[in-house]
């Protein structure tokens, strides 16, 4: 194994160990309640970046994948009593299928059509959920989550640890994609699709792989959400804020490596968690929207490019 991979593995172990220990060290459950959201966004930003950052295909419908995960997990748990890990897994698989479906229908043409199709995905999924009474329709449904196991002091802490495991797994997946032949192929696709294809890169297949992985992570990010809020409704599950943050966080942090979305999510989600106490959610969206415009317009490489060692890198 390479030195950088060993370092990464060490980091993963430390973070996971902290995640299991922290609930016993910090007594106030609020930290874990807020921390859950931050980790959820780390997962979302990381998942979005597999397709959006590496391959350069913008997905405006992150909330669609997330909401699909939320509802599938809630449905499987309340109807069949499926254990939590299986709910998460099932959501991931469903997200992957949804991603491939979207990709297969639109990616053969041009990136811009994929982006437009994802814009509509949220509306369609929301419409479907609205019309299924078994899922609570527009008024939503209550979900009574699993009792936290003995190794966790309470539900907030337990949800936090579950989300941490998902986030770490997602980051590890993104890093693996990035350093493997898939990542190099995707970056070639991002730079020039024709040149990649003529260099032997199976561009369509790679993009579909990226769609599947990205969709899986985005949907998995939503899987524990019903247990976190104990209640799911279309408005929050398919929230605009999720779609916005999914794009803004990687773009602000930097889209070229796995570090960017993590930095962006930690920064932006923490600011939002602190800010929700003081400002309205509308001002919150206004703030994120303005920051997003500023970064796209003036610093397309994101924070990791502004401060990183690749300072001289041209923007593309």
Among 186, 254, 260, 169, smallest CA distance to 220 is for: 169
Nearer to other proteins by Cβ, of 92 and 250: the residue is: 250
Nearer to other proteins by Cβ, of 112 and 142: the residue is: 112
Q: Which of 51, 72, 121, 263 binds other proteins (CB under 8 A)?
A: 121
Nearer to other proteins by Cβ, of 27 and 108: the residue is: 108
Instruction: Compute how many residues bind other proteins; rule: CB under 8 A.
Output: 69
Nearer to other proteins by Cβ, of 10 and 235: the residue is: 235
Residue 5 makes contact with other proteins by CB under 8 A:
no
Nearer to other proteins by Cβ, of 110 and 230: the residue is: 110
Binding mask 33-72 for other proteins (x = CB under 8 A): -------------------x---xxx-x------------
Can you say whether the dihedral through the CA atoms of 7, 164, 77, 220 is positive or negative?
A: negative
Residue 207 makes contact with other proteins by CB under 8 A:
no
CB distance 159 to 228 below 8 Å? yes
Query: Minimum Å distance from CB 239 to other proteins?
Result: 12
Instruction: Give the chain's end-to-end CA distance (angstroms, integer).
Output: 32
Residue 108 makes contact with other proteins by CB under 8 A:
yes
Nearer to other proteins by Cβ, of 34 and 58: the residue is: 58
Q: Which of 152, 157, 203, 304 binds other proteins (CB under 8 A)?
A: 203
Question: Which residues inside 78-107 make contact with other proteins, applying CB under 8 A?
Answer: 105-106
Residue 18 makes contact with other proteins by CB under 8 A:
no
Residue 185 makes contact with other proteins by CB under 8 A:
yes
Binding mask 122-141 for other proteins (x = CB under 8 A): -xx-xxx-xx----------
Residues near other proteins (CB under 8 A) are 52, 56-58, 60, 105-106, 108-113, 115-117, 119-121, 123-124, 126-128, 130-131, 181, 184-185, 187-188, 190-192, 194-204, 240, 244, 247-248, 251, 256, 282-283, 285-286, 288-290, 292-293, 296-298, 300, 312-316
């Amino acid at each position: 194994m390479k030195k950088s991979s060993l370092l990464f593995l060490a980091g993963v172990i430390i973070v996971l160990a902290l995640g299991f220990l922290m609930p016993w060290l910090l007594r106030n459950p609020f930290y874990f309640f807020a921390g859950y959201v931050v980790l959820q966004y780390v997962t979302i930003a990381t998942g979005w970046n597999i397709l959006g950052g590496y391959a350069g295909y913008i997905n405006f419908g992150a909330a669609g994948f997330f909401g699909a995960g939320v509802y599938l997990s809630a449905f499987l748990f309340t109807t069949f009593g499926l254990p939590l890990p299986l709910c998460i897994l099932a959501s991931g698989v469903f997200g992957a299928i949804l991603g491939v479906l979207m990709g297969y229908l639109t990616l053969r043409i041009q990136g811009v059509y994929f982006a437009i199709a994802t814009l509509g995905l949220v509306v369609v999924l929301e419409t479907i959920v609205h019309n299924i009474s078994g899922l609570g329709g527009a008024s939503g449904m209550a979900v009574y989550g699993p009792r936290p196991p003995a190794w966790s002091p309470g539900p907030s802490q337990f949800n936090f640890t579950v989300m941490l495991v998902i986030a770490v797994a997602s980051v590890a997946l993104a890093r693996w994609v990035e350093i493997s032949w898939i990542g190099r192929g995707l970056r070639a696709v991002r730079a020039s699709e024709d040149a990649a294809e003529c260099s032997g890169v199976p561009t369509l297949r790679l993009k579909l792989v990226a769609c599947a992985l990205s969709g899986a992570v985005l949907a998995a990010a939503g899987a524990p959400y019903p247990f976190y809020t104990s209640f799911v409704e279309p408005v929050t599950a398919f929230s605009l804020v999720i779609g916005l943050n999914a794009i803004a966080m990687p773009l602000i942090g930097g889209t070229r490596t796995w570090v960017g979305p993590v930095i962006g999510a930690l920064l932006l989600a923490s600011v939002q968690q602190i800010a929700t106490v003081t400002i309205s959610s509308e001002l919150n969206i206004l703030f994120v929207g303005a920051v997003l415009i500023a970064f796209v317009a003036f610093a397309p490489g994101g924070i990791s490019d502004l401060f990183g060692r690749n300072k001289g890198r041209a923007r593309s």
